[in-house]
Structure 1
Amino acid sequence: MTLRYAPSVLHAFPELVSRAWRVDGITCPASADTNGFVDRLTALAAERLASSSEGELPEIRSWRHAFAKMGLKPTQYRCASEALLRRFRKEGALPHIHPLVDLCNAVSLAFAIPLAVFDLRQVAGALTVRHADGSETYRTFSGEIEHPEPHEVIFADEAGEAHARRWTNRQSGASAVRTETASVLIVAEAMHETAQSDLARLDTTLRAGLAAAWPARWVHAIG
């Protein structure tokens, strides 16, 4: 599995820091309960939100700046971590979807950094973060087909399938994690000042959660 960034994206956003992991051996339900781990991470998010709103966090401010730079209204199109934090602040909890998705959502909440999780069975070849040309297809969770706007930043595979629209805003239903998912690509991206050290801590946290839930899993860092 290869994850790469188009030179035009790296040139436009030189502050970008990312980490990616291929994880094999995922089962559902998990061999160990992820609820305790998720609870600890969501408690950390609640502590941060008690003293400031999600929009005031440096991790989120950096993504709002990036969205504005892409010509998107930051309060109309929110990065995945801001959307999660916003929902968590309003509802006090997030819905249970799949043990792996629940874990990654909790990590995203605690670090205020967007994470994407792709079922690798549905990804054709390498995945590239690049500007769309408008010919790509994108599948919504309801099964509808869309075409990203030209120059929109997307995660695209070699078959022209867009697995995320507007970068970290909206993930595709085509490669969403399901009960039968066994191998995934997890991607974390940040642009704030302490992104490098925060992603290192996120890496440690994510690996600990994976190890607790799936002792037989195999994790390989990408890039």
Structure 2
Amino acid sequence: MSTFGHEPAVWQRFPALAVGVLWAAGVSGHPGTDSDFEAELARIVRDGEVAAAGRLSRSANHSESGLTSIAAWRRVYADLGYKPTQYRCAAESLLRRIRQQGTLPRVHPLVDVCNAASAAHAIPVAVLDRDRIVGDLRVGFATGAERYRTFDGTEERPRPGEVIYRDSAGSAHARRWVNRQSATSAVGPGTGAVLIVAEAVHASAAADVGKLIMELRTQLELLWATDCAVALPTANDPIVQLNAGGFIP
């Protein structure tokens, strides 16, 4: 993977968009039997669950739909032609699980940390295996020729005009923007280098996304003792250049 960014048409249509990007290497799913790691991981996830539950209790209707950031994504989805209750942004789905079950699913240590941050801040967070992305990765409108692989192994074709994450080989790594990621770049036991992307479209999105990304940076550096690099792309400076050492200004 060489670069990441949102295409100009996305910024033009959704000018309130705020984006945070984090890159890290050496993020193992199974760092051994270190009890300190497991205890710290459990604390981070539980703190996220508690923060999410508190956010829900303070929302307008004590549910995820009453949160400002979630309501903003619902408006975006309506604008794109989706029923907000049929296709939810990833953060809304996590918050809904918190409201109904009280806990988040445990998938992979890194995914668990990012899910906890997403729920706590009510902002969608994508976590991708950087080595499974070919060339450049762009968030833009689909042509209909892209290929998307589901977690059950079937292939789908995003509809033209759908917002997707598309790489240079024509693979779609996310469908309906922040609704569903692809199995192609899903984080797994063999993942080493990752790309993490947070996106929001509400009024205070820029400040909130920046806070979330810096929080994740602290957590990853604590858990995996790895160096992380961050960037906050804008419409005027939308493309993040990457190399093996991190972000290039």
**Counterpart for residue 22 of structure 1:** 23
Instruction: List runs of 5+ in structure 2 lacking aligned partners.
Output: 232-239, 241-249
- Using the TM superposition, name which of 193-202 and 148-157 deviates more: 193-202
Query: What are the Cα deviations for residues 85-107 of structure 1, in whole angstroms up to 9, with x where unaligned?
Result: 11121111122110000000000
The answer as to 2:107 corresponding to 1:107 is: no
Q: Does structure 1 conserve the Cα–Cα contact (< 8 Å) formed by 2:139 and 2:166?
A: yes
Identity fraction in percent? 46
**Counterpart for residue 4 of structure 2:** 3
From 63, 66, 72, the counterpart of 1:53: 63
TM-score, normalization by structure 2: 0.87
CA distance in 2 between partners of 1:92 and 1:112 (Å): 15
Query: What are the Cα deviations for residues 3-43 of structure 1, in whole angstroms up to 9, with x where unaligned?
Result: 11111111110110001111111112246221111111211
The answer as to 2:48 corresponding to 1:41 is: yes
Structure 1 residue ranges, 4+ long, deviating more than 6 angstroms after superposition: none
CA distance in 2 between partners of 1:207 and 1:8 (Å): 29
**Counterpart for residue 229 of structure 2:** 220
CA distance in 1 between partners of 2:142 and 2:24 (Å): 27
CA RMSD of aligned residues (A): 1.1
Shift of 1:218: 2.4
**Counterpart for residue 13 of structure 1:** 14
Query: What are the Cα deviations for residues 167-204 of structure 1, in whole angstroms up to 9, with x where unaligned?
Result: 00010011000011000100000011111111121122
Query: What are the Cα deviations for residues 110-141 of structure 1, in whole angstroms up to 9, with x where unaligned?
Result: 00000001101110011000110101000000
Q: Could you tell me which amino acid in structure 2 is paired with residue 201 of structure 1?
A: K
- Using the TM superposition, name which of 196-205 and 134-143 deviates more: 196-205
Instruction: List runs of 5+ in structure 1 lacking aligned partners.
Output: none
The answer as to 2:176 corresponding to 1:166 is: yes
**Counterpart for residue 126 of structure 1:** 136
